[in-house]
Amino acid sequence: MQQSPTVKLLEAILAAFNTRDVDRVMAFFAEDCALEMPRGPDPWGSRYEGFGSVREALRGRFDGIPDITYGDDTHYIAGETGMSKWTLRGTVAATGERIEVRGCDFFEFRDGKVVKKDSYWKIVEPRRR
């Protein structure tokens, strides 16, 4: 029996991200999952494939922004695709820079598990005076 994604599932995934507990987050992902992060050397950012690779990339995100939170969220489902819009807030560990940026995740699901998470962030530039 196929389990279709729901808005409640997207809310649970976001709640897991807000705990910064990589094992809790990865419980939502399939073994053959993929993750595309907003920054990287390619047009799609950085791509990680497979459970272990995705886990390590997310661990790096949580280490890099240890107080990261996602709020102001809304969620949508269309078939086996989900989208979550949010505001990311946190402090970059390496620089102490505070960030606040709008972004979204596109999720592809199979049998209720994430097989692909594709993340996008707005590019925030300094205000002109």
Which CATH code for domain 7-121? Answer: 3.10.450.50
CB 36 within 8 A of CB 46: yes
- pLDDT tens digit string along 10-58? 999 999 999 999 999 999 999 999 999 999 999 999 999 999 999 999 9
Q: What are phi and psi of 127, to 5 degrees?
A: -70, 140
pLDDT at 2: 60
Beta carbons of 64 and 38 less than 8 angstroms apart:
no
- Convert the pLDDT of each residue in 64-92 to its tens digit: 999 999 999 999 999 999 999 999 999 99
Listed by start position, the domains of the chain span 7-121
pLDDT of 1 strictly over 60: no
Assign 3-state DSSP to the chain and report helix, strand, coil percentages, each to 5: 25, 50, 25
Q: What is the DSSP string of 84-124?
A: EEEEEEEE-TTT--EEEEEEEEEEEEETTEEEEEEEEE---
